[in-house]
Structure 1
Amino acid sequence: MPERTNPAPSPLPHGPRRADLVSESRLVLPLRLSSEAIAANAVSVSPRLPVLPLVAIAFATFISVTIEMLPTGLMHLMAPDLGVSNAMIGLLMSVFAFTVALTSTPLTHLTRRLPRHTMLIVVLGLFALGSIGTAVAHTYPLVLATRIFTGLAHGLFWAVVASYTALIVPKQLLTKGVSITLGGGSAAFVLGVPIGTFLGQLFGWRLTFGVLAGLTLAVVVVLWLVLPRVDRNDVRLQTAPIEVPTTLTGSINVGEVMRPVPTGPRRSFGAVLLVCALAWVTMTAQYAAYSYITPFVLDVVHVPEQYLSLVLFGYGVASAAGTLTTGILFGGRPRIGMSVTFVLLLLGVGIIAIAPSLWIAISAIAVWGVAMGFMPTLMQTRLLLAAPRNIRDVSAALYTSSFNLGIGGGALIGGVLLEHFGIGVLMPFFLVVVAIAFAGSLVIDAVQVRAARAATRDH
């Protein structure tokens, strides 16, 4: 009997083989299409940055941060008009921040199915409504209520901005897109608060909030006209793993940083909690002092009131300069960057506390601004380097809550110290707490480096 040989496979599938392939394709093809769509990340739709929508969102972030921080520049005008102390105006900052920290996550969850572009427009409309309410409120409790209302919108706003930006920007341009949208927040310190302070001195603090409400409504119209309508469930618009934004001009990819550096920080939820605690302590010190910078500059540094807006403008410019140069100076050396930042904070605020002369104190305020420009970027970089990929979203939410708890707690503690011990105690308190945070940062670095080296030896 001749030996049976198997026929050579046909180049084209026939009969059962074709059915098998069709069946297999039903299982495999959707996975392939999904991975390709995610990798494309809307590049096939537009490989370029959607500049106009991003600039419009940047104006929205400018409005958001200006609304949040404006009481720091108008404190000396709001307090006597409402018949309360400066500490009570500082409490408006605390309540605002606590509202954001406590409600942003549940509100984001409740509105998760709503279109992001519609949510942005609605939230900006709520900003305008809250600012109008603040402008016409004639008692402190009513002003406080309007700040709580605006804080509810503020927490939701930042969650929506992040997700919407990720939907409309190609993944390889995500860092640049985020830099544009967050640039509005930096501009609020440079221009928003100083200009708001200047307008308040000329026309009163109520008109300033009214003007801000009008600008907000104008931004709402622009957003309605230029924001693209996107389906957040479209897999083609899903982004790749997060890059770490270091400056407005560059980024560090987490995976690229971690692989060649065996002695880097180990990723764990415990490390995330340590970074969040560090952010909370640092922001508590910052806002215990910065929330009351207006009375400090006027009463301790003795800056004439007509130049107050210029001092705040100088602080904002210095902070923006710090943010812009963070990646250039510390892109590959985040630990060194953190240490340098803490040293500059201690140096600048230490000189301010002594205040030997007007111009030296103003120069030290600029140093303070530069250091605080470095801090948020380096802290966020540290968080994303420590966070395991599967809990990065949770880590970011915890970090946001810690940051806002620091803002609110700092303003509250600063107000209590102001009421019981006077304005002169705020800067020494800042120095003590920042020194504690600096020591904690060095300890965290040492522990993480030791653990990473031990893990490398074990492997």
Structure 2
Amino acid sequence: MIIYVLFVCSFAVATAEFVLVGLLPQVATDLDVSVAAAGQLVTAYMIVVTVGGPVATVLTRRLPRRELLAGTMALATVSAVASAMATSYPMLLSARLGSALAQALFMAVASQVAMASVPPERQTVAVARLFGGFALATVLGLPLGSLIGEAYGWPVTFVAVAGLAALGLLGVLVFCPRVPTPPPAGVRDSIGALLRPGIYAGLGVTLLALTGFVAAFTYVAPMLRTVTGLSPGWVSVGLVGYGLGTIAGNLLAGRVRPEAITRRLPLAVAVLTAILLAQPLLLPVAPLALAGLALLGAAAFLVVPLVQTWLMGQVDPATTGLVAAVNISVAGAAGALGAALGGTVLAVGLGPAWIGPVAAVSVLAATIVATRLHRVTSSRGPSREALVQR
């Protein structure tokens, strides 16, 4: 049951992150600021998620996991309520920073709880379900939040988000088991764990793969409009197809056993590379463009939970939370780099269709790293998860 609770929690915190994107014009008008200034709310949010996750994880490493998870969801609930009540830009900014801190800490703690709540052979499933909440937020949370904001005003959207977060908090209080608190690890030991070759190779896969993915996805709407020639309505259909693809990729990730992750990961990243390389051929044909977008989402959300599960399985319990938080931070950095990469392609005049092939260079590098990671881990014998199962 706790896995389903974590799914609801992740859906709530992810919706809190994404939903403001569709509400920026309304927020700017109501708070009497420019759209660009309102957009800085998104930038500040991502900075806190990227930097705050590892820091918050280290500072809270001695706290019981169940109570910490409940406190995180309580912060998410209060921050969403504060966002709904904000009557000025500074008030909304403060509330959004609270939501960002809650999300930054949530992914690390929830990943620990998910893996500790199931047998070793089901740990990939548990982490995949956790990320499934983020996948569903792109399909359901963002568009529904935008529709609610358009119909009733953006504060009502945050009331709905607060309700979701409160439901997740209630689920944690009722169903979350008492997960053993990891033995305390010193800061030096924690940093030492991150510097192991396998760990930073896994983090490198996250950075390189998601940089390429985000570069293409950030500009998917202009691609579909200008290259494919789709109407706004069909662009929305394409985004729904992308969201369904993310769910499919997430479900597929859950079928990979922990000891098989490094064997499957290179293929998953290679598929993502191939999709990006093929964009100049796919985009001019509407059915192929829509299918390619769905496959893009599936490949990306196959890679992410696999890397997260593998990284957490390679370190001692004392540092699993920090490794999880750092991987999420690396994903945030990849988002910023990817958006900049896509913008650079457009700035030099190559056109939207060429973002994919350029972005594929980064993902191809991730494929090479993932392949090397599999060879190294195979030569070392059984993984920690396989030994635990024995």
Structures share fold, TM-score greater than 0.5: yes
Match 1:212 to one of 158, 161, 177 = 161
1:243 corresponds in structure 2 to none
Note if 1:436 corresponds to 2:353: no
Greater displacement, 210-219 / 302-311: 302-311
Instruction: Spell out, residue by residue over 1:276-307, the C-alpha distance to the aligned partner (whole angstroms, 9 max, x if none).
Output: 23322332333344345567666776655556
Note if 1:195 corresponds to 2:126: no
- Quickly say closer, same or farther: Cα 1:359–1:83, change in 2 above 3 A: farther
How far is 1:74 from its partner? 4.2
2:10 corresponds in structure 1 to 61
How far is 1:123 from its partner? 1.8
Match 1:145 to one of 94, 115, 121 = 94
Match 1:232 to one of 162, 169, 180 = 180
1:407 corresponds in structure 2 to 335
Q: How does 1:357-368 map to 2 (within 5 A)?
A: 358-368=286-296
Please, which runs of 5 or more residues in structure 2 have no aligned partner? Answer: 184-194, 382-390
Task: Give me the whole-angstrom Cα distance separating, in 2, the residues matched to 1:222 and 1:287.
Answer: 32
Contact 1:417–1:425 (8 Å) recurs in 2:
no
Task: Give me the whole-angstrom Cα distance separating, in 1, the residues matched to 2:293 and 2:29.
Answer: 26
Contact 1:99–1:151 (8 Å) recurs in 2:
yes
- Quickly say closer, same or farther: Cα 1:447–1:337, change in 2 above 3 A: closer
Instruction: Spell out, residue by residue over 1:245-304, the C-alpha distance to the aligned partner (whole angstroms, 9 max, x if none).
Output: xxxxxxxxxxxxxxxxxxxxxxx8234323323322332333344345567666776655
Task: Give me the whole-angstrom Cα distance separating, in 1, the residues matched to 2:82 and 2:24.
Answer: 17
- Quickly say closer, same or farther: Cα 1:426–1:397, change in 2 above 3 A: farther
Task: Give me the whole-angstrom Cα distance separating, in 2, the residues matched to 1:83 and 1:299.
Answer: 30
2:34 corresponds in structure 1 to 84
1:34 corresponds in structure 2 to none
Contact 1:54–1:181 (8 Å) recurs in 2:
yes
- Quickly say closer, same or farther: Cα 1:59–1:448, change in 2 above 3 A: closer
Note if 1:337 corresponds to 2:264: no
1:22 corresponds in structure 2 to none
Instruction: Spell out, residue by residue over 1:102-146, the C-alpha distance to the aligned partner (whole angstroms, 9 max, x if none).
Output: 122222232334333332232222222322333444555554433
1:162 corresponds in structure 2 to 111
- Quickly say closer, same or farther: Cα 1:187–1:231, change in 2 above 3 A: closer
Note if 1:100 corresponds to 2:52: no
1:131 corresponds in structure 2 to 80
How far is 1:314 from its partner? 1.7
2:239 corresponds in structure 1 to 312
Task: Give me the whole-angstrom Cα distance separating, in 2, the residues matched to 1:307 and 1:447.
Answer: 40
Greater share of helix: 2
Instruction: Spell out, residue by residue over 1:315-357, the C-alpha distance to the aligned partner (whole angstroms, 9 max, x if none).
Output: 110111122234769965432332122112332x4457xx435
Task: Give me the whole-angstrom Cα distance separating, in 2, the residues matched to 1:203 and 1:423.
Answer: 41
Match 1:285 to one of 212, 220, 228 = 212
- Quickly say closer, same or farther: Cα 1:273–1:71, change in 2 above 3 A: same
How far is 1:168 from its partner? 4.1
Task: Give me the whole-angstrom Cα distance separating, in 2, the residues matched to 1:269 and 1:181.
Answer: 26
Q: Using structure 1 for the length normalisation, give the TM-score.
A: 0.64
Task: Give me the whole-angstrom Cα distance separating, in 2, the residues matched to 1:339 and 1:78.
Answer: 40
- Quickly say closer, same or farther: Cα 1:70–1:311, change in 2 above 3 A: farther
Residue type of the partner of 1:227?
F
- Quickly say closer, same or farther: Cα 1:149–1:133, change in 2 above 3 A: same
2:386 corresponds in structure 1 to none
- Quickly say closer, same or farther: Cα 1:346–1:134, change in 2 above 3 A: farther
Task: Give me the whole-angstrom Cα distance separating, in 1, the residues matched to 2:152 and 2:224.
Answer: 21
Instruction: Spell out, residue by residue over 1:43-87, the C-alpha distance to the aligned partner (whole angstroms, 9 max, x if none).
Output: xxxxxxxx2x332222111111121222344456556666534x6
Q: Give the % identical residues.
A: 25
Contact 2:64–2:180 (8 Å) recurs in 1:
yes
Contact 1:104–1:155 (8 Å) recurs in 2:
yes
1:28 corresponds in structure 2 to none
Instruction: Spell out, residue by residue over 1:412-448, the C-alpha distance to the aligned partner (whole angstroms, 9 max, x if none).
Output: x379769x94999566445313323304533673697
Task: Give me the whole-angstrom Cα distance separating, in 1, the residues matched to 2:334 and 2:180.
Answer: 32
Match 1:346 to one of 277, 291, 298 = 277
Task: Give me the whole-angstrom Cα distance separating, in 2, the residues matched to 1:197 and 1:422.
Answer: 33
Contact 1:284–1:409 (8 Å) recurs in 2:
yes
Aligned residues: 365
Residue type of the partner of 2:290?
I
- Quickly say closer, same or farther: Cα 1:280–1:95, change in 2 above 3 A: farther
1:15 corresponds in structure 2 to none
How far is 1:376 from its partner? 1.4
RMSD: 4.2
Contact 2:210–2:338 (8 Å) recurs in 1:
yes
- Quickly say closer, same or farther: Cα 1:69–1:399, change in 2 above 3 A: same
Q: Using structure 2 for the length normalisation, give the TM-score.
A: 0.74
Task: Give me the whole-angstrom Cα distance separating, in 1, the residues matched to 2:116 and 2:42.
Answer: 32
Contact 2:280–2:353 (8 Å) recurs in 1:
yes
Task: Give me the whole-angstrom Cα distance separating, in 2, the residues matched to 1:282 and 1:189.
Answer: 19
Residue type of the partner of 1:338?
V
